[in-house]
């Protein structure tokens, strides 16, 4: 029976690598995988192709979506739910935190016909749930945390955004970037750095 899966973790937890390995495993068994990522994540392009690229070097070309897109329309465009082949089709969404609530609901309905696997962040750098992630927690049949560690060795849960050497706690929710902007930390280390930063400004 197909399901909606949400696999989440802090930055650097191998979410994208695991999404690509999952894609490979399905393809080995004869399935066709439709790999999606949000168009706003424009960090990785190869030639004219949009790419999903992991930190450890795994990569694959992919399809892109915008927040205004309807996933039922995308399924029609790519013939994902056609009766003659849907039994061997799978959808994987990388960076799924950027889905809208409506899109998650659409994927939930689609997952009643074929497997839909979503990989992404749970919270933003302000430690608040992303819209897409919140809805996935509410409706996905399967939730799995992908763990990574903080610099102190504890489990990392916070995606800490740095700008000019300082932790950023306010601003636009979406700030695209990787290791050059973000570091995953446990809440203890995050809180400690915030306190030190405030003391330095006094």
Q: What is the pLDDT of residue 19?
A: 97
Assess if residue 18 is contained within a domain. Answer: yes
Cα angle at 132 between 126 and 135, to 5 degrees? 110
Write the CATH number for 122: 3.40.50.300
Q: Using a pLDDT cut of 70, give the percent of the chain over it.
A: 95
DSSP string, 99-158: S-HHHHHHHHHHTTTS-EEEEE-SB-TTS-B-HHHHHHHHH-SEEEE---B-TTSSBP-E
Give the pLDDT confidence of 97-152 residue by residue, as tens digits: 999 999 999 999 999 999 999 999 999 999 999 999 999 999 999 999 999 999 99
Catalytic positions are: 95
Give a yes or no: residue 187 inside a domain: no
Asked if the structure places residue 75 within a domain, the reply is yes
Task: Note whether residue 194 is domain-resident.
Answer: no
pLDDT digits (tens, 9 = 90+) for 175-200: 776 667 889 999 999 999 999 888 87
**Domain total of the chain:** 1
Decide if 37 is inside a domain: yes
Residue 185 domain-assigned (yes or no)? no
Residue 150 in 3-state DSSP? Answer: coil
pLDDT digits (tens, 9 = 90+) for 64-85: 999 999 999 999 999 999 988 8
What domain range includes position 79? Answer: 4-146
Stated pTM of the model: 0.92
Residue 35 falls within a domain, yes or no? yes
């Amino acid at each position: 029976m197909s399901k909606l899966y949400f696999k989440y973790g802090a930055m650097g937890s191998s979410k994208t690598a695991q999404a690509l390995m999952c894609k490979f495993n399905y393809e080995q068994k004869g399935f066709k995988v439709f790999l999606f990522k949000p168009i706003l994540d424009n960090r990785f392009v190869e030639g004219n192709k949009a790419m999903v690229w992991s930190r450890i070097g795994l990569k694959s070309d992919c399809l892109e979506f915008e927040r205004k897109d309807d996933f039922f329309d995308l399924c029609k465009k790519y013939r994902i739910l056609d009766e003659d082949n849907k039994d061997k089709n799978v959808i994987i969404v990388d960076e799924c935190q950027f889905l809208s609530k409506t899109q998650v609901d659409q994927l939930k309905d689609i997952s009643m016909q074929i497997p839909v696997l979503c990989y992404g962040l749970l919270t933003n750098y302000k430690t608040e749930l992303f819209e897409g992630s919140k809805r996935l927690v509410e409706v996905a049949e399967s939730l799995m945390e992908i763990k990574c560690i903080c610099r102190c060795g504890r489990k990392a849960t916070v995606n800490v955004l740095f700008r000019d050497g300082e932790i950023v706690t306010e601003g636009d929710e979406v700030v695209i970037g990787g290791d050059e902007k973000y570091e995953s930390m446990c809440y203890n280390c995050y809180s400690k750095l915030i306190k030190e930063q405030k003391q330095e400004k006094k």
